[in-house]
Amino acid sequence: MARFTLFGGASDTSRRIAEADSVAVIGLGRFGTSLALELMAGGTEVLGIDADEEIVQSLNGVLTQVVRADSTKSEALQQLAVDEFDRVVVAIGSDITASILTCSVLLGMKVPGIWAKAVTEQHALILEQLGVHRVIRPEAEMGRRVAHLVRGAAQDYIEIDRGYAIVKSIPPARLHGIPLGKTGLRKEFGVTIAAFKKPGGEWHNADAETVLSEGDTILIVGPTRKAEGFAQLR
C-alpha cells in the first residue's frame, strides 16, 4: 500500500470536500499552488496532493486539505476519495512519467473531468492520446497571449480557440457617437463588440443602441486577425 500523510483530516474529509464545490489539484509546484490558491480565493474547496512533504507542510492550513501521497498509485488516490471528485487537475510538471501515470490512474477511476498540464508538445500528445479531457500548456499559452499584446494595440487578449479571440481595446474614432447598429461593423470588419465600459464605470453588454465615446473600453469578439486588426484602428 502506498504511504501517505494527511494534514487537515482523514479520507472522510476528502469525501466531504468532493461533495462540495471542489477540485483536487495534484502537483503543488508554482503552477499547481497558484491554481489551488486562486480556487480557494474564489470559494472553491481544494484537496491538494504532492509527493514533497515540505511543500505539503507549507500549505497546511492554507488549502482545505493537503496531502503527501504518491499519485501514481491508485490505492492512494482511492483512499483520498479522489475518484469522487468531478474535477481533478494534474499539475505535475517536473516528472513527465509521474504525470502520465497519474492521468492513467485517474482515467481508470473514471474521473469525469481531468485537466492536465503538459510541459512539451510530446507530453501533450501523449496525454491527449490517453484521453485526458483538457490538456493545458500554461507557458506556451501565456507566450502566445503576450506575443499578441506586444505586437498590437490590444490592452488584453484571450484566445477562445485557435483563430478566435476576445480583445480588449478602445473604440476607434469612427465609432464615436454612433449607435453600433448603424455602423455596419460586422459586415465591414467581421467582428462584434460584445461589451463596453465607460471611464470609472462597470462593464455592460453592448447592443445595437449602444453609443461609444472617447475614453471607453470595449471587448471585441471575432476571428483573431480581424479582432486584432480592428483593435489597431484609431
pLDDT in tens, 151-194: 666 889 888 888 899 999 999 999 999 999 999 999 999 999 99
Mapping DSSP to helix (H, G, I), strand (E, B) and coil, where does residue 28 land? coil
Enclosing H/E stretch for 161: strand 156-161
Q: What is the pLDDT of residue 8?
A: 44
Alpha-carbon dihedral 172, 174, 178, 179, rounded to 10 degrees: -50
The region, left, alpha or beta by phi > 0 then psi within -120 to 50, assigned to residue 65 is beta
Cell numbers linked to 28: 503543488
Determine how β-strand 22-26 pairs with β-strand 87-90.
parallel
Average confidence (pLDDT) over 97-121:
97
pTM equals: 0.72
Nearest partner of 112 among 138, 93, 135, 85, judged by Cα: 85
Average pLDDT value for the chain: 90
CA distances from 49 to 21, 22, 92, 95 (A): 17, 14, 10, 15
Enclosing H/E stretch for 156: strand 156-161
Average confidence (pLDDT) over 34-53:
95
Q: What is the pLDDT of residue 139?
A: 86
Decide if 97 contacts 81 (C-beta within 8 A): no
**Quick one: how far is CA 207 from the chain centroid?**
28
Band (pLDDT 50/70/90 cuts) for residue 209 is very high
